[in-house]
Amino acid sequence: MMRKCVVLFGLLLTACSPDAAPTVSTAETPAYTAPPVALAVQAGGSGDLVIEGRAGPDERVRVIQLDGTAHGVTADAEGGFAISVPGGTRADRLFNLSVDRSGQSVSSDGWLFSSGAAPERAVMLRLGGASLPVGPAPLLAVVDMDGGGGVAVSGLADPGVTVAVGVDGERRGSVTAGPDGRWSLVLTSTLAQGPHQITASVGERRDSRDVVLVQQTPSAALESASVDGAIRVAWILPGGGSQTTWILLP
């Protein structure tokens, strides 16, 4: 069963690769249409998991779970959609989010992970970069570490503000939050495994967390655990190795 899950996970990663997305348009080509985006994950009234997001108007939207189960809806005239996934909200879920566009399957930028411990704090797991919070999140929301000690951080702020990032009292860079308030930064130097204090600041506002960064090697395609006020997610990469993601809880 584990081998089957690993193979399927690799297929999901391949389906979500950047090559599947449309290229940026020029003046002579039609306007660029963005990949689908997950905006929120929450428990539905019947106990199902509800994924809300944005796609193109009237596009067919689909999510595929790690076990191969697929669910789909048609986006409304403004591109909004809500997909109800049965099975309750207490289990960890991993989804490939995609749309059918001109005969192609166009996937979102990453793989949507919903933790059974806190489904409303879903993240988009992204290979070799910063995983991004989905829905409401703190200023400092997610930390990623790869096998080589590379670290990325992300969170949610007001759109357009400058977010400064520090590690162990030393400033490590700054970044401008996007139109949706999400921001991410890949540190320019690696960190040693072990405890670190990571800080995100906007003016006088400061969010600081102590995180024990230890790269995990999962025995299955994906494993999660609650550790020190965070949900730690270890996941296998398609080319080998693994990446570890910490979802920072209040």
Rounded mean pLDDT, 147-170: 97
Query: Domain 126-248 sits in which CATH superfamily?
Result: Immunoglobulins (2.60.40.10)
Answer yes or no: are the C-beta atoms of 193 and 215 closer than 8 Å: yes
Q: Does residue 131 carry a pLDDT above 50?
A: yes
Fold of 2-114: Immunoglobulin-like (2.60.40)
CA distance to 135, 161, 176, per residue, from 182 (Å): 10, 10, 9
Q: Does residue 52 carry a pLDDT above 70?
A: yes
Query: Which class for 23: exposed (0-12), middle (13-18), buried (19 or more C-beta within 10 A)?
Result: exposed
Q: Does residue 28 carry a pLDDT above 70?
A: no
Pairing of strands 60-65, 70-74: antiparallel
Confidence of residue 129 (pLDDT cuts 50, 70, 90): confident
The residue with tokens 């007001």 is 158
**Per-residue confidence (pLDDT) for residue 33, from 0 to 100:** 65
Query: Which residues are within 8 A (CB) of 207 and not within 5 positions of it... i.e. 6 or more apart?
Result: 138, 139, 140, 155, 199, 200, 201
32-47: per-residue pLDDT in tens? 468 999 999 998 878 8
Predicted TM-score (pTM) of the model is 0.86
Q: Does residue 177 carry a pLDDT above 70?
A: yes
Q: Does residue 7 carry a pLDDT above 50?
A: no
CATH 2.60.40.10 maps onto the chain at 2-114, 126-248
